Structure 1
Amino acid sequence: MALVKHTGGCHCGAVRFEVLNSPDLQVFQCNCSICTKKQNHHFIVPKNHFTLLQGSHNLTTYTFNTHVAKHTFCKTCGVQSFYTPRSNPDGYGVAPHCLDPGTVRSITVEKFCGEKWEESMKAHKCIRDMSKLAADTQ
């Protein structure tokens, strides 16, 4: 899989990041309570494919329920451009709509039933592996 460097950030520009991923994004559309309210569509990457370029001082975090997911967002504009998902606490969920234009070739959206999270995680074939590095990209 050929990786490209995507850049992005929040609305006000205080938070900026870069992420290595395919130009063809596999995006999850979850229907859990918080993802529904925020329309949190995201793709998952390993932690070492994500670099926060600026704005760590401008981030705040919201957690609930199991407190595994870390919903980080900009204190100024309120935009969540990335977060630590419960499904992949060793990676990041990145919002494709917060990427700068020019590096995304395609987006495939997969619905994920977060209302039945445990059951959905057991049934999903590869979501947990998305935050792991493939042997040829290490």
Structure 2
Amino acid sequence: MNEEAKIHDAACHCGRVRFRVRLAGFDTIRRCTCSYCRMRGAIAVSAQRDDVAFVAGEDNLSLYQFNTGTAKHYFCRTCGIYTHHQRRSNPKLFGINVACLEGHGPFDFPEVVVMDGVNHPSDTSSGPRVAGVLRFVASE
């Protein structure tokens, strides 16, 4: 694990899948416009694969892959919560569902960058493209 970052405890909704992830911060939070992420609606933060350690329930994860099969999306087979995915654009990175991080959630971030996953950088020569920004404004 990277030594300069903070360790966060994480779990699915039912708690059967538990893991720890070391993050240098939340500057990599994002959503995506690809067909799967658009329906899933989660906000993910990037972590190095080696910075994720499962404490319990790794055998309770189910895997979903589509299209090229490069990205690997994991979710708890008991409660169905998406916990993380191995990124297609960089398979050395996991996208971690921020809602699974203890003490954090998707509404902690007033703005979240939305990446263009429909025109994925692996399919085009243009590289990653921002599709927009998702904003959350809490009511008073």
Give the TM-score normalised by structure 1: 0.78
Structure 1 residues 5-51: Cα deviation after superposition (integer angstroms, max 9, x where no partner) = 11111000000011111233421110100000001321111111111
Rounded to whole Å, the distance in 2 between the matches of 1:49 and 1:93 is 11
Higher relative contact order, structure no. (Cα contacts within 8 Å, ≥ 6 residues apart): 1
Question: Which residue pairs with 2:113 in the alignment?
Answer: 110
Q: Is the contact between residue 32 and residue 114 of structure 1 (CA under 8 Å) also seen in structure 2?
A: yes
Question: Which residue pairs with 2:70 in the alignment?
Answer: 68
More displaced, 43-52 or 1-10?
Answer: 1-10
Rounded to whole Å, the distance in 2 between the matches of 1:80 and 1:92 is 12
Question: Which residue pairs with 2:41 in the alignment?
Answer: 39
Structure 1 residues 52-87: Cα deviation after superposition (integer angstroms, max 9, x where no partner) = 111012111011110001111101000011111212
Q: How many residues align?
A: 122
- Secondary structure at the counterpart of residue 9 of structure 2: strand
In terms of fraction of residues, the more helix-rich structure is 1
CA RMSD of aligned residues (A): 2.3
Q: Is the contact between residue 116 and residue 128 of structure 2 (CA under 8 Å) also seen in structure 1?
A: no
Question: Which residue pairs with 1:58 in the alignment?
Answer: 60
Q: 1:121 to 1:51 in 2, by over 3 A?
A: farther
Q: 1:56 to 1:114 in 2, by over 3 A?
A: same
Question: Unaligned regions of 5+ residues in structure 1, if any?
Answer: 126-138
Rounded to whole Å, the distance in 1 between the matches of 2:88 and 2:25 is 24
Give the TM-score normalised by structure 2: 0.77
Question: Which residue pairs with 2:19 in the alignment?
Answer: 17
